[in-house]
Amino acid sequence: MNKVTYFTEEGLKKLQDELNYLKTKGRAEIAKQIAEARDKGDLSENAEYDAAKEAQGLHELKISKLEESLSSARIIDENDISTDKVSILSKVKIENVKLNKSFEYVIVSEEEANLQEGKISVESPIGKGLLGKKKGEKVTVKIPSGEVIFKVINISL
């Protein structure tokens, strides 16, 4: 059984658009690459053909993974989210206690995570550590470089 993955409406649309592109234009581009490589002669010694076939396999794997994610996707209604504690789709302002620096993140699904946009995955060490915490609480998070203590400054939508 697939685990349910929660998305914003925008995030779900983005995934659906990507899947549609991969199934249409993406497949057509790969087919064209394979045809061009095939036209270059002996397939047993044709590195371009092998590379194009490998790209096709990776492309189909990506399509399969997107389809799997979408099959278990659920849209989260922001009206159902409480700002009493950190949950998926919460915008959280946290402070690194040791460095006295604050950061603001939105907790999102793995597929929507994008650090440049300030979106961290609910599956990441920081995301997992913050889940369920309330304003003012401190949390110790294990990250690859050691442990970091964060204080939850604010929770909003």
- The confidence score (pLDDT) of residue 2 equals 58
Instruction: Express each pLDDT in 95-140 by its tens digit.
Output: 999 999 999 999 988 888 888 999 999 889 999 999 999 999 999 9
Of 75, 106, 136, the one marking the end of a domain is 75
Count of domains forming the chain: 2
Is residue 18 over pLDDT 90? yes
Identify each DSSP E strand in 111-157 by its residue range: 119-121, 138-143, 146-156
Look up the pTM and report it: 0.67
Range of the domain at 20: 5-75
The domain spanning residue 13 has which CATH number? 1.10.287.180
Is residue 78 over pLDDT 80? no
Of 75, 95, 125, the one marking the end of a domain is 75
- The confidence score (pLDDT) of residue 8 equals 78
Kindly provide the b/e burial profile for residues 4-20, where b requires at least 16 CB atoms within 10 angstroms of the residue's own CB. ebbbbeebbeebeebbe
Is residue 1 over pLDDT 50? no
- Residues 70, 20, single domain; the answer is yes
**Cα(129)–Cα(127) distance, rounded to whole angstroms?**
5
- Residues 51, 100, single domain; the answer is no
